[in-house]
Amino acid sequence: MSRRLRRAGSDATMRRMSQPLRPETLALHADAGIEATPDVAPPIHVSTTYVAGNSEGLVYSRSDHPTRRRLEAVLGALEGGHAAVYASGQAAATAALLHLAPRRVAIARGGYHATHYAIEALARFGVEKVPLDAPVGKGDLIWLETPKNPTCELQDIAAHAARARAAGAWLLVDGTFATPVLQQPLALGADLVYHSMTKFLSGHSDALGGVLVAREPKLAEALRAARTLSGAVPGALETWLVLRGVRTLSLRVRQQTATATRLAAFLAPRVARVWHPSLPTHPGYELAQRQMKGPGPMLSIELGSEEAARALPGKLRLFQDATSLGGVESLVEWRRRQDPEAPPALLRLAVGIEDPADLEADLAQALDAVGA
């Protein structure tokens, strides 16, 4: 079966299945029928080239790859769209900017710093970065990061979608912190959803990747074609690792969210500030009730001083002092080490799947040790 027929057949199957099936089921079955194989676990394909005239229409792995087809089918189904995966989250973000070629990119201050660097790098080609509420026109891009790194602040996706439609602009939503389990931007009117697959989609801190999921299939096809030219494809092992990881996405994210919610309540009376949408004190609390299916697995805390914040990671026993997020292990980071825009006393907590009581105890002893 040719690539076009195989992908079209998978998309048609999922259109029939996606309405009744929930994320836990889609993560396991959305790639059914992609390959004719008796394997229960999806095989990993390592070949870079294929025998001419094969029934799958495969030629060279930069343009198409069986394991990549599977992963794109699953991620597309989870978001209700059509996926194109990339070698890293940054590659996916840059691919979106290059393909859409906006004159202006409207984006809030803060959030993931490397996104701002990518936009600013295109200034020499006439791309202008403007504030989120600045006027936009036809072909411009509104870029929402919601929840935003590291404070979990939220943006109203539906409201910005209406604004984008009225102006003839594009709307892209970075949903890395929420994952498809907790937030569905395409259903709220976004044109594209972006995720760093390195984070929750992989879930094990062992695979680099990124994904763009388009509402319209023609946009996804164009992104894949451009990816073939740029060569920004994930390797076979990384693709397979993310596919394996995404099978348990819902289980992990729901547990991590429950633990993050518990830790937010535990920490609120003990530190200067807790940033988590489960708390009524968070600026996105009410919006999270409408827009998300849970407040999310990420939280940040601010201590009374930068000195205490810098010392805390070294006192923790279960939280490892490392950047990144979304893995099964809990991580802590004095965020200003990576992001100069972060508040000086802020620590970002990426909650893992450890027992919440153990994580509470670890935080309590570390806060005592730094006098917080």
pLDDT digits (tens, 9 = 90+) for 224-269: 999 999 999 999 999 999 999 999 999 999 999 999 999 999 999 9
- Please state the separation of Cα 169 from the chain's center in Å: 22
Sign of the alpha-carbon torsion through 274, 277, 280, 283:
positive
pLDDT at site 148: 98
Give the domains, in start order, of the chain with CATH numbers. Answer: 3-246 (3.40.640.10), 249-369 (3.90.1150.10)
DSSP code of residue 103:
S
Bridge-based pairing state of the strands 104-107 and 128-131: parallel
Local confidence band at 372 (pLDDT 50, 70, 90 cut-offs): confident
Assigned token pair, 319: 């939280």
pLDDT for residue 12 is more than 80: no
* Lowest model confidence (mean pLDDT) among 13-17, 66-70, 162-166, 238-242: 13-17
Average pLDDT (56-64) is 95
Angstrom CA distances, 47 to 37, 50, 60, 137, stand at: 17, 7, 9, 45
pLDDT at site 341: 87
pLDDT digits (tens, 9 = 90+) for 298-308: 999 999 999 99
pLDDT at site 9: 45
pLDDT for residue 142 is more than 60: yes
This prediction's pTM? 0.93
pLDDT at site 19: 59
Interhelix angle 306-315/356-369, rounded to 10 degrees, is 130
- Please state the separation of Cα 241 from the chain's center in Å: 16
Catalytic residues: 62, 112, 174, 199
- The partner residues of 196 in beta bridges, in order of sequence, read 210
pLDDT at site 37: 87
pLDDT digits (tens, 9 = 90+) for 195-233: 999 999 999 999 999 999 999 999 999 999 999 999 999
Closest alpha carbon to 150 in 365, 281, 335: 335
